[in-house]
Amino acid sequence: MKIKNFFYSQKVAPYVFVVPFILSFAFFWVYPLITAFTMSFQDIGAISSDWIGFANYAKLLKDNVFHIAVWNSVKYMFFTLVLLIPFPMLFAVLLDSNLVKAKGVWKAVLYMPALTSVVISGTLFRLMFTEYTTGQMNMITAALGLGTYKWLKMGWSGMLALLILACWRWTGVNMLYFLSGLKSIDTSLYEAADIDGASGKQKFFYVTLPLLKPTTVYVLTISVYAGLAMFLESFMLWAGNSSPNNIGLTIVGYLYKRGIEKNDMGYACAVGVVLLVVALIINFAQLIINGTFKKEED
Amino acid sequence: MKKKLISALLCTSMAASLFVGCGGAASNGGVDPDAAADETAEESAEDEVVTNTYGDPNGTHLEMWTFVELHAQHYGVMAETWNEEHPDQTIEITCTTYPYSDMHTKLLTALEAGTGAPDICDVEVGQFPNVVEGLDQWLVPLNDYAADYLDTMVTSRMETYQGEDGNYYGAPYHVGATVMYYNVGAMSEAMGLTQDEVIAKIDAVETWDDYQALGEEYLSSVNEEGKYFTCVDTGGVDWLWLAMAEYGDDWTGGFTDPANVQLDSVKNMLTMQQDWLKSGFAEVSPDGHIDLEAGFQNIMDHNVVSFPKAMWYMSRFTNYMEEEAGNWYIAKCPVFEAGQKCSVGIGGTGTVVTQQSQNADLAATFLCWAKMSEEGEQHIWDTLGFDVCNAALWSDDSFAHDDENQYNSFFINYPYDVLNDIGMDNIGKISVVSISPTINEYLCTTTLNEVLEDPSYSIDDALQEAQDAIDMEQ
């Protein structure tokens, strides 16, 4: 009887349902998180590990390569935000309107890149951006009379290649987020706006945009994280973790370099902790500014 | 309040997934192309875990891990042969192929934990310092088991997989001897000579000065823009290794000395390369080094007609540049001063036996037999296409001059004739120690880009910068 009571209890049931998540969360997320934090204060050796206090962090402060990695990741994150929020939003609004024919086709075409493996698409982009004359980008620029470039050896063009890859891959995904956000906006609001004589522009800025805000905040949050944690794209584009003058090195790339390539796990964990702190600061700041933490008004 | 909770959860899970995400991303990366590039094309990473069991189900069971499925098949075939020859000592071997970084991480974790490691495991040369750090607490010294073969094994290659205590811990697949590849077809066409005349000129090249003279002769007869005699790498240090082997230098300092990149051998090589770039004798390899798609295309377009590379580069020709069959000739590398060593072993994978093995004795005996005996080497050459380490076979006519072999028929001369000509004692050694990744990485990302992309850049300054960066790590 007691067991039955237990299962039928409205108080207990929710906890029972979330137990699998809490357990896997604790084992696979919280535990590694805490271990990584403690490891960042250690020098991890083959046989034994020593506590070395803040030495790893002190080294990070002086480490120029790490600074380059942070700067690259921040730049990449910033430009992906600039490119991957307004444009997908615009495409979503267009697809939601009556201006576009064959909507299903567009959705599928834009979403398809997200289904391909980064390993494959990264390799293809590497071949497109090769400095050899037969590379696609060099064929285009040569045909336009601009000459050929060493795309993946210069800072600006390397970043451009990364951004083109990111836009190609993520535009469709973000557009779907915005589309689902648009679907949840009550059409009667637009009808009311029509009756009040609002123009298309006014409807977008005063109805669509404010009501899309929860979606925008969500996309912003995951984009900040995704931008800072980018690694595989750069790894594939330069066929390895070493790019000329580290133009393609990201924070996670540096973590991989230290942790896997040089087997210096303690230092790699310190890099990870810094990445975590940077991502948390940026995201908390933007969530506070966006009012996500304010009490619900209704 | 609810929103606050959700936001907090969102942030925590995001934070946590940053760490988890890192591991995930790394393993998705599969292979480290730098490492893979040092191996043959067959040695590309497998994305999936593949497990196969070979041999006698009633025999002693051995576990084996690798990151290249072809390697696993090698042990499979060798296990069958072993069982036929040793009916009283049969084995069953389970080979598991993991992605590159997964396998090395798993192995290190198992060795550190003291449990869970396989009996036998492949270790890529770049990862070897991490694994050999545990010396005989982790690994079984192979000295006694390899003793029967050591006389004819290329010493420098065995030493690559030595531990700090001087024991041999890894069994090599190949020498990876650096040789010079020449496009005799293109050269004879441009220079208006017969193939034999060009080959005679190539064979007469002994020093880099001779090499340069030959190249200038070729370039003056071809007289076309975009044609060079060779290409130099910004994304690889093979040229510098060759220079160090010639002078007997080693920038890692081995196990005892601190690393030092400000060596005369390195300076001489870089100075020569800068001169070549200024005079139009050489170009910078498109995309950084010749072992990439753009490099293959460059070769097929006959924009460069000679370059030094390890023997395993032969498989790039047969896999990616089939139409070049019959054009290419393999020769010794030039040296700075007559009498120097003219080759160096590059890349590789050493196979280890772990102390955790219940049957370490049998595992080590089998491993050394599978990788060093004539049967083993024959199979390595036929299926993996590596220049085998057991020099006894180099002069074996049925082995080295077998026209059925794809490499023997692809190139103008027999590859093993070149190895015999070089001689096993003239192949220099690459030290791989814990500072090695740092040196390679700094040179490939920064130094070589500085001095070769801008041939007027001061080599001394660039090497000083590199030394400063390396000193921070040691």
- pLDDT tens digits for range A217-237: 999 999 999 999 999 999 999
Residue A297's pLDDT is 54
Q: Is position B125 within any domain?
A: yes
* A contact test, residue of B233, B287, B446 with most A CBs within 10 A: B287
Q: Tell me: do B66 and B145 sit in the same domain.
A: yes
Same domain assignment for residues B443 and B380: no
Question: Does the residue B23 lie in any domain?
Answer: no
Question: Which residue of B lies nearest to A295 if distances are taken between CA atoms?
Answer: B1
Q: Domain check: are B165 and B257 in the same one?
A: no
> In chain B, positions 22-61, which contact chain A (CB-CB < 8 Å)?
22, 25-26, 28-30, 32-34, 37, 47
Asked whether residue A3 is assigned to any structural domain, the reply reads no
Coil/strand/helix, residue B292: coil
* pTM score, whole prediction: 0.84
Residues B131-160, mean pLDDT to the nearest whole number: 91
Residues B338 and B440 both lie in one domain: yes
Evaluate whether residue B4 is within a structural domain. Answer: no
Going by C-alpha positions, the residue among B456, B360, B364, B389 that lies closest to residue B144 is B364
Checking ipTM against 0.90, whether it exceeds it is no
- How far away is chain B from the Cα of A30, in angstroms, using its nearest Cα? 7
Q: What is the pLDDT averaged over residues A247-251?
A: 94
Task: Answer whether B438 sits within 8 Å of A47, measured CB to CB.
Answer: no
Mean pLDDT of B438-448: 92
| Nearest beta carbon to residue A242 from set B11, B34, B287 | B34
Distances (CA, A) of A44 to A37, B115, B123: 13, 18, 20
The DSSP code for A206 is: I
Of the listed ranges A103-117, B43-57, B183-197, the one predicted with least confidence: B43-57
Q: Which of B11, B12, B19, B137 to mutate to test the interface with A (most CBs of A within 10 A)?
A: B19
Question: Do both B227 and B171 map to the same domain?
Answer: no
Are both B140 and B257 inside the same structural domain? Answer: no
Q: Which of A179, A19, A152, A8 is nearest to A91 (CA)?
A: A179
Q: Do A287 and B18 touch (CB under 8 A)?
A: no
Single residue among B393, B422, B453 that ends a domain in this structure: B393
Mark whether B308 and B361 lie in a shared domain: no
Facing A229 at nearest CB: one of B21, B286, B294: B21
The pairing of strands B343-344 and B427-428 is parallel
- What pLDDT was estimated at residue B4? 52
- Residues A256, B23: Cα–Cα separation, whole Å: 9
Q: Is residue A105 part of a domain?
A: yes
Is residue A298 situated within a structural domain?
A: no
pLDDT value for B75: 93
User: In angstroms, what separates the C-alpha of B138 from chain A's closest C-alpha?
Assistant: 10
A73-87 pLDDT, tens digit per residue, is 999 999 999 999 999
Candidate from B1, B17, B25 with C-beta closest to A295: B1
In a domain, A39, yes or no: no
> Is B118 in the A-facing interface, judged by CB distances under 8 Å?
no
B8 domain residue, yes or no: no
Evaluate whether residue B13 is within a structural domain: no
Q: How many CB pairs under 8 A join A and B?
A: 157
- Domain holding A265: CATH number? 1.10.3720.10
User: Which residues lie below 8 Å from residue B217, measured CB to CB, with a gap of 6+?
Assistant: B191, B201
Indicate if B156 and B291 belong to the same structural domain.
no
* Domain span at B115: 41-175+347-393
User: Do residue B75 and residue B135 come from a single domain?
Assistant: yes
Give residue for tokens 């499925």. Answer: B69
- pLDDT for B37 beyond 90: no
The residue of chain A nearest to residue B114, with distances taken between CA atoms, is A47
Chain A neighbours among B 299-338 (CB < 8 Å)?
Answer: none
Tell me whether residue B2 is in a domain: no
Q: What whole-number distance in Å separates Cα of residue B409 and Cα of residue B184?
A: 15
Q: What mean pLDDT value characterizes chain B?
A: 87
Backbone dihedral region of A197: left (phi > 0), alpha (psi from -120 to 50 degrees) or beta? left
Cross-chain residue pair A153–B14, CB shorter than 8 Å:
no
The reply to whether A2 falls in a domain is: no
Task: Provide the pLDDT for residue B366.
Answer: 95
Residues B356 and B322 in one domain: no
C-alpha span between A5 and B165 (Å, rounded): 67
Whether B149 and B220 share a structural domain: no
- Considering the domain architecture, whether residues B148 and B285 belong to the same structural domain is answered as no
Contact (CB<8Å) B437/A261: yes
Predicted pLDDT at B42? 34
Question: For residue B10, is it within any domain?
Answer: no
Q: Which of A33, A255, A256 is facing B16, going by the closest CB pair?
A: A33
Instruction: Determine the average pLDDT of the residues in B283-293.
Output: 91
User: What secondary structure does DSSP assign to A64-111, as a single string?
Assistant: HHHHHHHHHHHHHHHHHHHHHTHHHHHHHHHHHSSS-S-HHHHHHHHH
Tell whether A7 is covered by a domain.
no
Give domain status of residue A295, yes or no. no
pLDDT single digits (tens) A53-74: 899 999 999 888 999 999 999 9
Q: Each residue of B415-453: b (16+ CB within 10 Å) or e?
A: bbebbebbebebbbbbbbbbbbbbbbbbbbbbbbbbbbb
* Span B72-95, average pLDDT: 93
- Is the pLDDT at B145 greater than 50? The verdict is yes
What percent of chain B is modeled with pLDDT above 90?
A: 65
Q: How many domains does chain B have?
A: 2
Total domain count for chain A? Answer: 1
Nearest to A231 among B25, B30, B449 (CB): B25
Residue A168 within any structural domain of the chain: yes
A46 band by pLDDT with thresholds 50, 70 and 90: low
Q: Name the closest residue on chain B to residue A37, using Cα atoms.
A: B19
Range of the domain at A136: 54-289
